[in-house]
Every structure is written in C-alpha cells, then in structure tokens.
C-alpha cells in the first residue's frame, strides 16, 4: 500500500510565518474597529407658534360715572372804578448787624461774690481691712475692741450664708460647681449696695447675690468721726457632695 502523503513534505515549515501574518491581521482589524467613529444624526425640529389675530373679549361694564360740568367763569363787571392811591407806605429800614473795628463792646463785669460754688462731696469708700471703726453686725455690740468686732462681723456673715444657702436646682442637675467671688459696699446708712460677682456660672452668681442682698442692716463704719461706706469681699464655694 502506498502512503497518501509525501514523506519528504514538511508540514510545519512556514507555520510561524503564517501565525505572524494572522496575528498582524487580527491586530490591524481590532485597531481599525476602535478608530471607527459614529455620529448621531441631528434631528431637525420646527417649533410652530399659533397666533390669533382677532382677540375679542367682552369686558363687563361695572359702573358709569356721570360728572357735572364745571361752573361757568365769573363775568366781568359792567363798570370798572379806578381808585387813587392816597395812603403813604412807610418803608422799613433794615440796619446792618455787622460789627467793625470801630465798634466798642463793653465787657460784662461779674463780681466773684455773685458766683455761688457748691462743693460736691464725693462718697469715700474705705476697705474693710483698714477702716478705723468697722461696721457692727447685729449681735456684735458686746465686743469692745475693733479686732473682736471684725472677727464677729466675718463670723456673722458666714453664718448668714450657711443659713440662707440654697443650691440652684438647674446647676445641681447639670453638675455645675465652683467658687463665686463677691464684692459689695456697706453704705453710710448700713445697707448692702453695689454687689459685684464673678463665678463659673450665671445661676451660681444669682444665688450668691441673693444671699448677700438679704444681709440685715448694720451699724455703718466710721472714719475720722464720720460715717463712711465700707467695701467688703467674700467668696462663696458651691461644692457637690458625692453620694
């Protein structure tokens, strides 16, 4: 039996060449497919506006105003009398108010005796630490010396604060605490005035001011035999106790 194929034929002799040609063709076709551009067709749309030439609308008549014709102008008199001007009119002369160098103005002389000068006495405020005679709190009259009365005054103020102290509810719920510094004046009548406060929260400041404003009237302080105002300072500490 004879072989169907030539035994001397090389089947894969040009296979690499054919592979390169095929690969190049495929790449070329792929590149050309990416380069192809498609454009959308622009649609032409025509806008049609319909206009109406005859626009007729019936407007209802609401009111007809009838105005009276204007009155006729007054007629001229038949006889015109001419009156002679016999009255003399006096002309008013306006004098100039400008002054010149020759005008002499008299100086107004005021006597010193006619001027009343009132002396305004400024209120003297003395610090509590250096006052000659300290304000006397009710109940401190029994102490003879000034040092004892100072100590009694401080003690009475602290007792008043503890007795009238009330922690603000809102500040207590929010956990607000801190120290409020107070400064006030005991005037020459023995009353508390000009309260100044500084603290961490407005609620604590208001409560501290309320306590100090409720202090009773005291005997005013004296300096060189005259009642004077006395400045006093004290801190109030708001502390939250842990349960």
DSSP per residue, 78-119: SS-------PPPPPPP-------TT---PPPP--GGG---PP
Distance, in Å, from the CA atom of 159 to the CA atom of 193, rounded to the nearest integer, reads 20
> pLDDT tens-digit profile of 207-240?
999 999 999 999 999 998 899 999 999 999 988 8
Confidence tier at 17 by pLDDT (50, 70, 90) = confident
Asked if residue 100 belongs to a domain, the reply is no
The pLDDT of residue 204 is 92
Q: List CB contacts of 188: < 8 A, sequence separation 6 or more.
A: 123, 220, 227, 228, 229
- pLDDT at residue 166 greater than cutoff 60: yes
Note whether residue 132 is domain-resident. no
- Which of 66-80, 85-99, 173-187 ranks highest by mean pLDDT? 173-187
Measuring CA to CA, which residue among 128, 175, 130, 120 is closest to residue 152? 128
Domain assignment present for 8: no
> Does some domain include residue 96?
no
- DSSP per-residue string spanning 9-52: --TTTTHHHHHHHHHHHHHHHHHHHHH----PPPPP--------
Q: For position 95, what pLDDT does the model report? A: 64
Residue 173 within any structural domain of the chain? yes
Q: Which domain holds residue 233?
A: 166-238
Residue 213, φ and ψ in degrees, nearest 5: -65, -20
pLDDT at 52 over 50: no
What integer pLDDT is reported at residue 55 of this predicted model? 44
The reply to whether 175 falls in a domain is yes
Determine whether 199 is exposed, middle or buried from the number of CB atoms within 10 Å of its CB (0-12, 13-18, 19+).
buried
Phi/psi for 181 (5° steps) reads: -95, 125
CA 140/CA 36 separation, integer angstroms: 111
Mean pLDDT of 83-110: 60
Crossing angle of helices 202-213 and 146-164, rounded to 10°: 130
104 within domain boundaries? no
| DSSP element (H, E) containing 212 | helix 202-213
Q: Distance between CA atoms of 21 and 161, rounded to whole angstroms?
A: 108
CATH number at residue 180: 3.30.2420.10
Number of domains in the chain: 1
Percent of the chain residues topping a pLDDT of 70 = 62
The predicted structure's pLDDT at residue 243: 47
CA distance 188 to 230: 8
> Which pLDDT band holds residue 45 (cuts at 50, 70, 90)?
very low
In a domain, 133, yes or no: no
> For residue range 109-157, what is the model confidence (pLDDT) as tens digits?
556 565 565 665 667 888 998 899 999 999 999 999 999 999 999 999 9
- The Cα–Cα gap between 190 and 153 comes to 13
């Amino acid at each position: 039996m004879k072989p169907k194929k030539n035994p001397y034929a090389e089947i894969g002799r040009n296979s690499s060449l054919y592979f390169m040609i095929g690969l190049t063709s495929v790449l070329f076709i792929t590149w050309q497919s990416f380069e192809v551009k498609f454009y959308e067709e622009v649609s032409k749309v025509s806008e049609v506006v319909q206009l109406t030439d005859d626009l007729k609308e019936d407007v209802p008549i609401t009111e007809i105003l009838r105005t009276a014709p204007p009155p006729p102008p007054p007629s001229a008199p038949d006889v015109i009398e001419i009156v002679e001007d016999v009255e003399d009119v006096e002309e008013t002369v306006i004098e100039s108010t400008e002054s010149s160098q020759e005008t002499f103005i008299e100086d107004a002389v005021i006597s010193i005796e006619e001027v009343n000068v009132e002396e305004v006495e400024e209120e003297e405020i003395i610090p509590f630490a250096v006052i000659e005679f300290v304000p006397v709190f009710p109940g401190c009259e029994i102490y003879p010396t000034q040092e004892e009365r100072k100590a009694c005054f401080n003690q009475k103020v602290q007792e008043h604060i503890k007795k009238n102290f009330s922690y603000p509810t809102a500040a207590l719920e929010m956990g607000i605490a801190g120290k409020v510094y107070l400064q006030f004046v005991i005037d020459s009548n023995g009353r508390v005035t000009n309260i100044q406060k500084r603290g961490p929260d407005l609620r604590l400041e208001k409560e501290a001011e309320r306590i100090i404003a409720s202090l009773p009237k005291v005997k005013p302080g004296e300096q060189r035999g005259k009642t004077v105002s006395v400045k006093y300072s004290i801190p109030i500490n708001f502390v939250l106790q842990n349960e």
